[in-house]
Amino acid sequence: MACNKNKVEFTYSPEAPRAGEVVKFSNQSTSGEEWEWSFGDGATSSLRSPNHTFKKPGTYIVTLKVDKKKAWMASKQITVYDTIPTYTVSDSTFCIYKDYTFTANVYNPYNYEVAYSWALPQQAVYSSSSADESSVKLYFTRAGEASVGLRVVLNGDTTFVKKTLEIQDQATNSILFRTSEGDYRQRIFGTRQDDQVVKDPSAAALLDAEQDTAQVYNGYTFTLSEIAAVFPDIEGFHIASRKIYYRAGGLWVANIDGANIVQIDSVPCAAMTLDTYDNRIYWANKNGVWYMPFVGSDNNMFVTEPVQLNALTDVTKIAPDYNQK
């Protein structure tokens, strides 16, 4: 007995449609009696092989479902071009320090020579690509209006398009610092951080509470005097994931039982803290504030080099602050 397996497939023409141009969809499915088309712009159809006109340029996901069965479904991504070069963005809302992809949308069916040049505001930073590619990825470091421009030279003709975006702030974590001149805050965004270190009197409460002479770990309070016998010359410490990070001139890491002591930084360490949200250690020395991921190996050898966070050189305390603006 033969088994008929439904094959859901469709084609469309033209292959590079423009906004306002009729696109013909041809249903190539091998069986079925009911059709559900979704064109990605809010429009739908129940015809077997419908026509559709996209009103705006952009990238759309067109989906065909046969006989209302989720398993019998096919989707294709269609780029709709504008007669005038423009660009599309991967999102419609924007926040600081998040990646967004900007893609040139150029109608070029005859493969003419084309060149691209992006114009970014000061608060925009490339996270990949460069200014002369058709698609670039970037992020914004400041909230407020940001104008992104694109110059396209197609077959000798130049077009410049500019769009103004509204960049929103977002809640995030911060690292707090105390110096002789006051308390400061620097915001952390995952793998990135704000390049501004700002004075913030509201940081005082957390910095007042921060200390590294006694730490509770697994329900037991470790004191500086208690562990000094295991770690000579210790000045302060924090514990996380069965590792102890401590100040003794420079910065060190060891297993909580005292084994496998490894030096992280030879420059005398004035203050340190652990950020258990992003799994980082932060410390201050005469050259500024530094950070690196927690050490994960059994022998405490680390492969990630310390990264400088800022140039504050008079830090006496560091503390994390979670979910703040």
For a pLDDT cut of 90, what percent of the chain falls above it? 76
Q: What is the pLDDT of residue 3?
A: 45
How far apart are the C-alpha atoms of 150 and 162, rounded to whole Å? 6
pLDDT at 297 over 90: no
Q: What is the pLDDT of residue 325?
A: 55
| 3-state percent helix, strand, coil for the chain, nearest multiple of 5 | 5, 50, 45
Reported as a pLDDT band with limits 50, 70 and 90, residue 308 is very high
- DSSP SS3 for 266: coil
Higher-pLDDT residue of 5, 304: 304
How many Å apart are CA 174 and CA 186, to the nearest integer? 5
What letters, b where the CB count within 10 A reaches 16 and e where it falls short, cover 132-153?
ebbebebbbbbeeebebebbbb
Rounded distance, CA 148 to CA 165, Å? 8
Q: What is the pLDDT of residue 5?
A: 67
**Which pLDDT does position 129 carry in this prediction?**
75
Q: Which two tokens stand for residue 152?
A: 């396209």
DSSP state of 201: G
Altogether, the residues listed in the chain come to a count of: 325
Q: Is the pLDDT of residue 236 over 80?
A: yes
- What is the pLDDT, as a whole number, of residue 296? 85
Q: Model confidence over 164-210: pLDDT tens digits? A: 999 999 999 999 999 999 999 999 998 899 989 999 999 999 999 99
Question: First-to-last CA distance in the chain?
Answer: 67
* Residue extents of the structural domains in the chain: 10-80, 86-168, 172-324
Query: Across the chain, what does the average pLDDT equal?
Result: 92
32 near 48, Cβ under 8 Å?
A: no
pLDDT digits (tens, 9 = 90+) for 74-113: 999 999 998 889 999 989 999 999 999 999 989 887 788 9
> Which residues does 301 contact at the CB level (< 8 Å), separation at least 6?
262, 295
pLDDT of res. 324: 64
Domain 10-80 has CATH 2.60.40.10: yes
Average pLDDT over residues 105-128: 91
Q: How many Å apart are CA 182 and CA 236, to the nearest integer?
A: 22
**Host H or E run for residue 225:** helix 224-227
On the question of a common fold for 10-80 and 86-168, the answer reads yes
Average pLDDT over residues 280-302: 93
pLDDT tier, 35 (very low <50, low <70, confident <90, very high otherwise): very high
Pure H helices in the chain: 204-209, 224-227
Cβ atoms of residues 145 and 170 within 8 Å: no
Confidence of residue 65 (pLDDT cuts 50, 70, 90): very high
Across 116-124, average pLDDT: 95
Residue 64 has pLDDT above 60, yes or no: yes
What pLDDT is recorded for position 46?
95
Q: What is the pLDDT of residue 247?
A: 96
CATH code: domain 86-168 is 2.60.40.1080
pLDDT at 4 over 60: no
Residue-wise pLDDT for 128-163, tens only, equals 877 889 999 999 999 999 999 999 999 899 999 999
How far is it, in rounded angstroms, from Cα 228 to Cα 114?
68
pLDDT of residue 108: 86
- How is residue 118 annotated by DSSP? E
pLDDT for 321: 96
Q: What's residue 2's pLDDT? A: 41
The angle at the Cα of 83, spanning 79 to 89, to the nearest 5 degrees, equals 45
So what's the pLDDT on residue 20? 84
